[in-house]
Amino acid sequence: MNLTTGLYRTFQAELTRQLREKRIIVAPRQGWVRSSPHFYVSPEEIDGMLEALP
C-alpha cells in the first residue's frame, strides 16, 4: 500500500514534523508527504496515521 497526500510545500514540512513527533514515519517528496506502510503495519496503526492528518 502506498498512501500519498498532495500538499502545499509550506505545509509539507510542518505536517512531516507533526507526524514524526507522533512517531509516524513519513518522507517529504517534491511537495508531497509520502507514507509507505508495509505488511507488518497493523490496520489500527494505519487508522491512527489517517486520524493524525489534519
What is the reported pLDDT for 8?
57
* Model confidence band, residue 15 (pLDDT cutoffs 50, 70, 90): confident
Tell me the per-residue pLDDT of 20-47, one tens digit each, with 9 for 90 and over: 998 888 888 877 788 888 888 889 988 9
Q: What is the pTM of this model?
A: 0.67
Distances (CA, A) of 3 to 27, 37: 11, 8
SS3 for the chain is CCEEEECCHHHHHHHHHHHHHCCCCCEEECCEEEECCCCCCCHHHHHHHHHHCC
Q: Which tops the pLDDT comparison, 9 or 34? A: 34
Rounded Cα gap, residues 46 and 28, in angstroms: 18
What is the reported pLDDT for 10?
66
